[in-house]
Structure 1
Amino acid sequence: MTQNPKPRGRYFEDFEIGQEFVSPARTITSTDIVNFACLSGDFNEVHTNFEYCKTTQFGEPIAHGPLVYAIMGGLQYASGINDGTLLALLQIDGWKMLDAVKHGDTIRLHSRVLSKKESSKSDRGVVSFQRQCIKQDGTVAQEMTATLLYRRRPQA
């Protein structure tokens, strides 16, 4: 008989208000930007046309905002926090693009627990995080409040 492995993620009870998490780092590449343009169909010149971008404040193509958001989700998963315990993304509030992310920028996800509350269902709870995408130079590229639904620790 095979058993499911124990999740490595954090349960609702494991989070404390004010607790902070920093993800592994990931470097954004031109391939990421082009692949996201193909996936999303967003071929806006600010993402895909080097000559056009020379006329903008960026000087070169920039990553799509939703691409950076998606990578932030992957970085949170890579941190192990969500592995086997996350049930759902419930809400994103105050999503702000504060600085462009370009090919060669290395980003990390910084998360801080803002609040937590039990759900009406006894097997789950809601945790809200302040999330920031931080570039290699310490600049905040994006920030938001993310509200997620986590499993509660199983009763023995």
Structure 2
Amino acid sequence: MLTQESRRGHYFEDFEIGQEFLTPARTITSTDIVNFACLTGDFNEVHTNFEYCRQTQFGEPIAHGPLVYGIMGGLQYASGINDGTLLALLQIDGWKMLAPVKHGDTIRLRARVVEKKESSKPDRGVISFERECIKQDGSIVQQMKATLLYRRRPTA
């Protein structure tokens, strides 16, 4: 498994089926949740109202699912594998929210290469990852299959 200390900037040719990446960790804060609500306009009470949340199964505000998804993208960037080589996000399949993420939870991304295929253009290729967002206790809080477009290694 490659970690944050691994080489940065992976080209299409650098990925192998079954290869795993584990990103650095990041703690979610109340500020993250409030900023996301302000950015998106999603002030649903389950994310912003402590009194409302005391009466829910969560007991306190939880992070928006798309906020966690966005942070997962940032964590993959922080791992370095996308440095100068990622071209585009093509598709997300089977996105599941399995457990809440709250203020104070620390998450990281584990991504495993499940598909690799050349594109019709010789300078790029498609990589699909099974992504899992993992909390500090080891529980998986989100999972999905993400398909991304990467540069191919330049020829001399």
Matching residue of 2:127: 127
Matching residue of 2:61: 61
2:147 pairs with 1:144:
no
Gaps of 5+ in 2: 1-6
Contact kept, 8 Å, 2:132 with 2:140, in 1: the verdict is yes
Matching residue of 2:85: 85
Matching residue of 2:30: 30
Matching residue of 2:45: 45
- How does 1:76-115 map onto structure 2 within 5 Å? 76-115=76-115
Structure 1 residue 131, shift from structure 2 partner: 0.3
Partner SS for 2:95: strand
The 4+ residue runs of structure 1 with deviation greater than 2 A are: none
1:51-97 CA-partner distances (Å, limit 9, x unpaired):
00000000000000000000000000000011100000000000000
Matching residue of 1:3: none
- Between the aligned partners of 1:139 and 1:61, the Cα distance in structure 2 is 19
Partner SS for 2:8: coil
The one-letter amino acid paired with 2:105 is D
Matching residue of 1:18: 18
Using structure 2 for the length normalisation, give the TM-score.
Answer: 0.95
Gaps of 5+ in 1: 1-6
- Between the aligned partners of 2:62 and 2:126, the Cα distance in structure 1 is 34
Partner SS for 1:9: coil
Contact kept, 8 Å, 2:8 with 2:79, in 1: the verdict is no
- Between the aligned partners of 2:69 and 2:9, the Cα distance in structure 1 is 21
Structure 1 residue 8, shift from structure 2 partner: 3.5
Aligned length: 150
The one-letter amino acid paired with 2:81 is I
